[in-house]
Amino acid sequence: MTEIRLYNTKTRQKERFQPIDPDNVRMYVCGPTVYDRAHLGNARPVIVFDVLYRLLRHVYGPDHVTYVRNFTDVDDKINATALARKEAGAKGTLEELIAERTEETIAWYHADMCELRTLRPDREPRATQWIGAMIAMIEDLIAKGHAYAAEGHVLFSVDSYRDYGKLSGRSVDDMIAGARVEVAPYKRNPMDFVLWKPSSDDLPGWDSPWGRGRPGWHIECSAMAYELLGETFDIHGGGIDLQFPHHENEIAQSCCAHPEGGFARFWLHNEMLQVEGKKMSKSLGNFFTVRDLLDQGVPGEVIRFVMLSTHYRKPMDWTEKKREEAERTLRKWYAQAATAIGNGAPYQGVVAALSDDLNTAQAIAELHQLSLADDATTLRHSLQFLGFMGGDVPDWASVPAADLAALAERLASARADAMATKDFGQVDAMKSALLAAGVEVRMSKDGVDLVPGPDFDPAKLEGLL
């Protein structure tokens, strides 16, 4: 069996991955808070853990892997978005507008991630479906002395968990200095975090032993992971921005609620994304959503390719140059892979690269070698293994064969005329334009063949048609 090695944030080293149960490999990844479109940075963990999911399914079998990614559908940002709609004149109660916004955003998310050719997780729990489990976990934490109720809130007592801070490698003093700690008179320790908070009558809320309220963000993932994957599971993933405080708090809650378990054995974190060397932000004018790029005509597979060109533990820089190069490369590979005959399997070099801590950059280097070797069948199956080229060549990557055939006929006719008149001006001009568009021109006594090359750009043919 293929050996997988993954960098475990928890131990700060690369380790051999051995699942708790090879027949039931379990992975939890923190999903989105559904109040708006997913931006490009949100897409990176989705793609990273999609690749890991595909690798696990390849090694252990599709029926032996469970991938859970949640939707946070109760949150102050969702409430604020719905309230803004109501103030703008939208009909319905605030609760109805919140539900409407949630459904709308989840549909957007699914559509956008599908364009990036990511697989749906096996389970996609919504936080609002597991409130009872959250309340039960909070009650248990209070009973065990790890949480306390105060002024309608319930807070986790950080002092009660001696390993707090081990995942991020920070001391409590460092965390207080570097974090935005909410100051509240009812807190015993400034680092204590909310498990439950009160809700006003106009906001979503549920009855609980501490009054009507709603859960804190961190308890949601702990409760859903426990209910769907058990007290100990194999992998927990997410962006590096979630390492502290979200993942740190998840560990504290879960290990205190279920001390006989270990919560997640492996922790994987992807690094952040930049745009043209700068942090993505609205103030810099370089902030955009996945849908923005798709609407601009950037294919989802091209976005995926650019993301996978950088190792997930390194910062990724989205640039226009990378986008152009990715599109040219995929056009070339898709044209080659379209000629594949018969069944096949992904190239072992690609599988080995992914098995080495998801080295997608090396996997793409292996694809380049397959392309040079002109092994169409292995190239096609390797592309599909990485989440590209699900079926036929997509329209954006298709070579306009009819247009090239018509141009070949025109060039052949012009060449025949030139042979008689000895004036090759038109032939040379057409040939130069075709070469500029990335088309290889092959002329012989049998006729003219036009073959799109790796830099083929159909847009540059418009002046010839």
Q: Tell me the CA distances in angstroms from 274 to 81, 237, 251, 288, 410, one per residue in order.
A: 26, 20, 29, 11, 47
* Length of the chain (residues): 465
* Cβ atoms of 37 and 388 closer than 8 Å: no
Among residues 136, 147, 128, the alpha carbon closest in space to that of 252 is found at 147
Q: Say whether 30 counts as a known binding-site residue.
A: yes
Instruction: Give 212's DSSP letter.
Output: S
Q: Which of 10, 453, 83, 27 is nearest to 233 (CA)?
A: 27
Contact (Cβ atoms closer than 8 angstroms) between residue 326 and residue 302: yes
In whole angstroms, how far apart are CA 80 and each of 28, 98, 411?
28, 9, 63
Cα–Cα nearest to 250, from 238, 379, 45, 391: 238
Distance CA 448, CA 415 (A): 9
In our burial notation (b when 16+ CB lie closer than 10 A, e otherwise), range 177-200 reads eeeebeeeeebeeebbbbbbbebe
246 is in an annotated binding site: yes
Which three-class secondary structure state does DSSP give residue 187?
coil
Annotated binding-site residue? 114: no
Is 258 annotated to bind a ligand? Reply is: no
Distance, CA of 409 to CA of 413 (rounded, Å) = 6
List binding-site positions for ATP: 282
List binding-site positions: 30, 221, 246, 250, 282
List binding-site positions for Zn(2+): 30, 221, 246, 250
